[in-house]
Amino acid sequence: MMDTTAPRPGSLKVGWIGAGRMGAAMASRLARAGEDVTVWNRTRAKAEALTEVGCAVADTIADLRGHDVVFTMVSTPADLEQVLVGEGGLLADPARVPAVVVDCSTVSTESSAAMRAACSERGVAFLAAPVSGNGKVVRAGGLSLVVSGPEETYERVAHLLDHLGKGATYVGEGELARLAKICHNVMLGVVTQCLAEITVLAEKGGMSRAAFLEFLNKSVMGSVFTTYKTPAFVNLDYTPTFTPILLRKDFDLGLAAARQLDVPMPVAAATNAAVQASVSSGRVEEDFAILLDLQAHNSGITLKPENVQVDDGLGGGPDQ
């Protein structure tokens, strides 16, 4: 009978590259679960802040080369390439490399495939493991991950992924996890645009946004996401969690994949126009929830914050 017992916490040496808002929250969860975590970040102070939860700090990326597993959580494909195969990168010395790289960044399928090939050439297993959530979701234990790559590698590190939130879903070999994340983000935009349209319709008909969204969230149509986004819609708090430019990028990727696979996506195509309008408005540093403001403008009304305390479903009240 196969032993399904998870390895003892701390049995693997874990490296972590990238201590931004997401990376820091995720590395912190690993350390709090008793894992042996060493963090490197370009701005060292961000990594040093994690010593409070038990993380060690690496002076250079090279210090992580001998680890069992190294997670990467960086901003762009160029950043991922730099930390892995750039000068001084994790894979720069073929004689000393980690056994496994788990990339949680949101990058293109092409970038992911290139880094997988670079890892393979050096005998390193590579998992694509993009995530759904933001720093607050991580801290609340609500993060989810989708993973693709060698199944035996996934099984080896699954206990680490479980520490990060709700756990991971394995979807197959290669870059399938990247497509899954793109599909997820297309739905993110479609649902938000729909939510904006019906909320404006309700308000123009005489309802407060707080009352309408309270009803919606109690109904069968409510969800974790609609509840989470309600404080932003009620109080017009557009502190960025995900910007219109990033959403537009994912719609571009999603619609390109749909063309390649001959999948008609009429609802996504219509939403894409609204997402482009949000970028064209110039409000590219705010949250993509500004889709609500654009819908109101096109409907001939001006929204005002309702200043109502609203639970976001994550135990954090109105704070996004």
Containing H/E element for 235?
Answer: helix 224-235
Q: How far does CA 15 lie from the centroid of its chain?
A: 19
Question: Cα 215 from chain centroid?
Answer: 28
Q: What is the pLDDT of residues 197-217, one digit of tens each?
A: 999 999 999 999 999 999 999
Is the pLDDT reported for residue 131 higher than 60? Answer: yes
How far is 306 from 210, CA to CA, in rounded Å? 8
Among 185-189, 286-290, 316-320, the minimum mean pLDDT is found in 316-320
On the 0-12 / 13-18 / 19+ scale of CB atoms within 10 A, 135 is middle
Note whether 74 and 80 are within 8 A (CB): yes
Whether residue 84 has pLDDT greater than 60: yes
* Per-residue DSSP letter, 219: S
Each residue of 303-320: pLDDT tens digit? Answer: 999 999 999 988 744 333
- φ and ψ of 33, to 5 deg: -85, 0
Q: Which long-range contacts (CB under 8 A, 24 or more apart) does 276-283 make?
A: 276/248, 278/244, 278/247, 279/244, 279/245, 279/248, 283/238, 283/244
pLDDT at 314: 84
Phi-psi region at 161: left, alpha or beta (left = phi > 0; alpha = psi -120 to 50): alpha
pLDDT tens-digit readout, 21-66: 899 999 999 999 999 999 999 999 999 999 999 999 999 999 999 9
List, in order of start, the domains of the chain with CATH numbers: 13-174 (3.40.50.720), 179-298 (1.10.1040.10)
Using alpha carbons, list the distances in angstroms from residue 199 to 59, 215, 244: 50, 11, 19
pLDDT at position 5 is 62
